[in-house]
Amino acid sequence: MNFKPILLVAGEPNSVFLEIFFKASKNIKIKSPLILIASSKVISLQMKKLNFNKKIRIINQQNLYSYKLNNKTINLIDVKYNPSKAFENISSKSKNYIKDCFKIAIEIINTGYTNKLINGPISKKHFLNKKFPGITEYLADKFKKKKIAMLIYNKKLSVSTITTHLPIKNVTKNISKKSIIDKVNLINSFYKKFIGINKPRIGVTGLNPHCESLENFNEDLKILKPAIQHLHKQGIKISGPFAADTIFLKNNRKNFDIILGMYHDQVLTPLKTLFEYDAFNITLGLPIIRISPDHGPNEDMLGKNLSNPLSLIKAINFLNKIK
């Protein structure tokens, strides 16, 4: 087997993930075998609802090395779940099912069988508790990693954040010189290893509007600037802080491979405006390459067969290049 398999945890059963998986599996040439971890009952019901037809091959988690896998069928590790219909309302009913899917994926990864994981969306309200603001942090805990970073990747321009899924009121107290240095080092290493860019150009947004503050303590001057200066001395190609309201202008963003923001929506909003579904979320700092397509459960689109699979296609294509 030249390319390691890609594990796909389907996540919330009442989401658009399986729809986009069906579409993606028809529209790309896949070098890596895909192994879906999900409920066969959910898949069968949603296939019928969405008029998709492909043979399902049930495989055993304990005997993965014995299979010669290809993508002519859906390679499925079947996880027990009993839906009453193709799509139900999202609720806590699926919590244990999703937990079991992730558990199986982590067990497989820990055997060394593969280091590639894609997961579908979950409902933070029903699956996660206050300990984990997102799956990024959930998986970091499972792999016992404290230094992680969230990178929303696009070949032309990517973004990352110092804080991830935090309310705005909690952002400032979670920004430090150390957190900036740690995340930039993860980003720099990832680009060197997987993208082939030894010194990616990193631009940093300020925390305050126009990088100015009337308060006695200006984070942009007291925290961000010293961190940037420290990293620059290490040989990292980094600059800033820049005003967040202008860094994404065409003549400004062309100077960077990555724009590092201080909080989630500061950089994800402009990136999604520019590229829409042509991006995906990579967690840096894990012992695996974990990717999440750039969409949520999207309950309003369930069963309509109108969801865009581009983000998942890009994610699979990216992992296809890695042996």
What are 203-245's pLDDT values in tens digits? 999 999 998 877 778 999 999 999 999 999 999 999 999 999 9
Same domain membership, residue 241 and residue 309: no
Asked if pLDDT for residue 1 goes beyond 60, the answer is no
Same domain as 107, residue 204: no
- Average model confidence (pLDDT) for the chain? 93
CATH code of the domain in which 70 resides: 3.40.718.10
- Under the banding of pLDDT at 50, 70 and 90, the label for residue 163 is very high
pLDDT digits (tens, 9 = 90+) for 207-218: 999 988 777 789
Total domains in the chain come to 2
Q: What are phi and psi of 237, to 5 degrees?
A: -85, 85
Cis bond upstream, residue 5 (ω within 30): no
Give the per-residue pLDDT at 283: 96
11-52 pLDDT per residue, tens: 999 999 999 999 998 867 778 899 999 999 999 999 999 999
- Same structural domain, 39 and 106: yes
pLDDT at 240: 96
Is 299 found in the same domain as 160?
no
With contact defined as beta carbons under 8 Å apart, do 160 and 149 qualify? yes
In this prediction, residues 102-113 reach a mean pLDDT of 97
Candidate ranges 193-202, 293-302, 314-323; pick with highest mean pLDDT:
193-202
Return the pLDDT at 102. 97
pLDDT at 217: 82
Separation CA 300–CA 16 (nearest Å): 9
**Residue 120 and residue 9 share a domain:** yes
Residue 137 shares a structural domain with residue 178 = no
Residue 138 and residue 201 in one domain: no
pLDDT per residue as tens digits for the range 136-152? 999 999 999 999 999 99
- 82 and 214 assigned to the same domain: no
First to last CA, the chain: 9
Q: Tell me, what's the pLDDT at 321?
A: 87
Amino acid 28: pLDDT: 72
Report the alpha-carbon distance of residue 251 to residue 230 in Å, rounded: 26
Residue 237 is predicted with a pLDDT of 98
**Rounded (10°) angle between helices 17-27 and 40-50:** 70
Global model pTM greater than 0.75: yes
Biggest distance spanned by C-alpha atoms of the chain:
65
> Do 206 and 95 belong together in one domain?
no
Q: Are residues 119 and 191 in the same domain?
A: no
Residue 133's domain comprises: 1-145+286-323
CA 239 to chain centre: 25
